[in-house]
């Protein structure tokens, strides 16, 4: 009776923190790193690029076209191409995911800034706002909902795509799927799916909370309307 396969919870208890590289805890940490770094880096790069595209209209079409081409590239072949440059490391996964994030965020930044009504800009100018102050105090706050909507897409897709890196040995929780494939056994698959979905839901929830904190006037307007 005791020689049968372990239950799901028994397997999790045995493999959560074994001190090995492929323990669930280490895989979860790697997955978080390879997900969060592309999200943050793509946002940091997309903001100034989006601003440049709004300021210089001619720049948006070639930038958008290039980003669309990059976004259309399958992740696994890109990982394999990068191995010769970055080796079997987390960087091989992080770089493509950063570009995928930029492909979503640059249009989000542009659309967010373009959503600012002209009369709002004119009012800020009439009040003596400098271009930088107008950007920081007026335009970016109004663009926040659109930018964060794009960031939510990037967060969920990054958390999901990291698992593909398991095919080159750098997939975080995706390593549980390859382990189950090599030795057919369901608990690793269940744990991997549950943890990835949980990470995506947590990231999405935190971004929704951030939007509410950064745009309190939206809630106030809804309260007045109701």
Token reading at 175? 């390593």
Whether residue 120 contacts residue 138, with contact meaning beta carbons closer than 8 Å, is answered with: yes
- Whether residue 205 lies inside any domain: the answer is yes
Residue 211 lies in domain: 21-217
Q: At what angle do helices 140-161 and 24-55 cross, to 10 degrees?
A: 140
- Whether residue 130 lies inside any domain: the answer is yes
Give the model confidence (pLDDT) of 126-135 as tens digits.
888 888 888 8
CA atoms lying within 13 Å on the CB side of residue 157: 21
- Whether residue 34 lies inside any domain: the answer is yes
Q: Could you tell me the CATH number of the domain that includes residue 95? A: 1.10.3720.10
If pLDDT is split at 50, 70 and 90, which confidence band does 220 have? Answer: low
| H/E stretch holding 4 | none
Does pLDDT of 184 surpass 80?
no
- Whether residue 16 lies inside any domain: the answer is no
- Whether residue 156 lies inside any domain: the answer is yes
- Whether residue 43 lies inside any domain: the answer is yes
Those residues whose C-beta lies under 8 Å from the C-beta of residue 199, and which sit 6 or more positions away, are 31, 32, 35, 159
What's the predicted TM-score (pTM) here? 0.87
If pLDDT is split at 50, 70 and 90, which confidence band does 10 have? Answer: confident
- Whether residue 1 lies inside any domain: the answer is no
- Whether residue 222 lies inside any domain: the answer is no
Does pLDDT of 62 surpass 80?
yes
Whether residue 145 contacts residue 112, with contact meaning beta carbons closer than 8 Å, is answered with: yes
- The structural domain count of the chain equals 1
């Amino acid at each position: 009776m005791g020689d049968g396969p372990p239950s799901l919870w028994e397997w999790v208890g045995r493999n959560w923190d074994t001190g090995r590289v492929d323990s669930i805890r280490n895989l979860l940490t790697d997955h978080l790193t390879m997900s969060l770094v592309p999200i943050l880096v793509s946002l940091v790069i997309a903001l100034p690029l989006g601003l440049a595209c709004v300021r210089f209209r001619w720049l948006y079409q070639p930038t958008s076209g290039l980003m669309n081409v990059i976004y259309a590239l399958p992740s696994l072949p890109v990982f394999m191409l990068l191995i010769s440059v970055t080796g079997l490391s987390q960087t091989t996964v992080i770089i493509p995911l950063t570009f995928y994030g930029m492909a979503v965020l640059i249009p989000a930044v542009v659309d967010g800034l373009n959503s600012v009504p002209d009369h709002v800009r004119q009012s800020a100018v009439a009040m003596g706002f400098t271009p930088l102050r107008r950007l920081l105090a007026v335009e970016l706050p109004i663009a926040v909902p659109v930018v964060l909507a794009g960031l939510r897409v990037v967060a969920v897709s990054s958390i999901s795509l990291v698992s593909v890196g398991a095919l080159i040995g750098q997939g975080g929780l995706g390593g549980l799927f390859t382990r189950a494939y090599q030795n057919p056994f369901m608990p690793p698959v269940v744990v991997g799916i549950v943890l990835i979905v949980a990470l995506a839901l947590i990231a999405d929830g935190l971004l929704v909370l951030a939007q509410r904190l950064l745009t309190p006037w939206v809630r106030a307007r809804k309260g007045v309307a109701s």
